[in-house]
Structure 1
Amino acid sequence: MGFGNKYDVLQETINILDDIDIDFFIHWDKRFPLPKLYSNHSRIIYIPRIKVRWATDLQTKAQILLMNSVINNNLDIKYGYCHLISSNDIPLMDKNYFKNYFKEGSYYLGFFDYLNDYEYKKMKYYYPIRYFNIKNNLTGYILIRLFTLLNKIFHINRINRNCIEKGVNWYSLDIKYIEEVMKKDNFQIFKNTISSDEFYMQTSLKKLKPKDETNIYDYYSDKYRLTESSKLSSRYIDFYRGTPYVFSMSDLDELRQNINSKYAFARKVYDKDVPLRLFNNHI
Structure 2
Amino acid sequence: MNIEYKHAYLIMAHNNFELLRVLVKLLDDKRNDIYIHVDKKAGDFNKDSIINDIKYSNVFFVKRISVTWGGYSQIQNELNLLKEASKNSYKYYHFLSGVDLPLKNQDYIHNFFDENNGKEFIHFCSQEFNLDGKDRYSVYHFLQDIVGRKKGVLYYLQRFSVKIQKKMTFLHRDRKDIKYCGGSNWCSLTDQCVKYILSNEARIKRMFRYTTCCDEFFIQTIIRNSKFYNNIYNTEDSYIACMRYIDWKRGNPYIFNIEDWNELNNSAFLFARKFSLDSQQQRMLVDKLANSILNNADKK
TM-score bucket of the superposed structures, by smaller chain: 0.7 to 0.9
- CA distances 1:61-100 after superposition (whole Å, capped 9, x unpaired): 000000000111xxxx421110001001110111111111
- CA RMSD in angstroms comes to 2.4
As a proportion of its length, which structure holds more helix?
A: 2
Residue matched to 2:273:
267
- 2:191 aligns to what? 175
What pairs with 1:1-283 in structure 2 (closer than 5 Å)?
A: 1-32=11-42, 33-36=44-47, 37-38=50-51, 39-72=54-87, 77-103=88-114, 104-114=117-127, 115-135=129-149, 137=151, 142-155=156-169, 156-160=171-175, 162-185=178-201, 186=203, 187-206=205-224, 207=226, 208-209=228-229, 216=236, 228-258=237-267, 261=268, 263-271=269-277, 273-283=284-294
Q: What TM-score comes out, normalization by structure 1 length?
A: 0.85
**1:158–1:229: structure 2 CA closer, same or farther, 3 Å change rule?**
farther
Q: Which moved more, 1:228-237 or 1:56-65?
A: 228-237
- The 3 A distance-change label for structure 1 pair 55 and 232 is same
Moved more, 92-101 or 137-146: 137-146
Structure 1 gap ranges (5+):
217-227
Distance 1:129 1:229 in 2: 32
TM-score by length of 2: 0.80
Cα contact 2:255–2:273 (8 A) shared by 1:
yes
Are the equivalent residues in 2 in contact too, given 1:168–1:229 (CA < 8 A)? Answer: no
Count of residue pairs brought into register by the alignment:
264
Q: Answer yes or no: is the 8 Å Cα contact 2:28–2:56 preserved in 1.
A: yes
- Counterparts in 2 of 1:142 and 1:44: CA distance versus 1, 3 Å: same
Percent identical residues: 26
Q: Check the 8 A contact 2:130/2:180 in 1, yes or no.
A: no
Deviation at residue 205 of structure 1 after TM alignment: 0.6
Alignment gaps of 5+ in structure 2 = 1-10, 278-282, 295-300
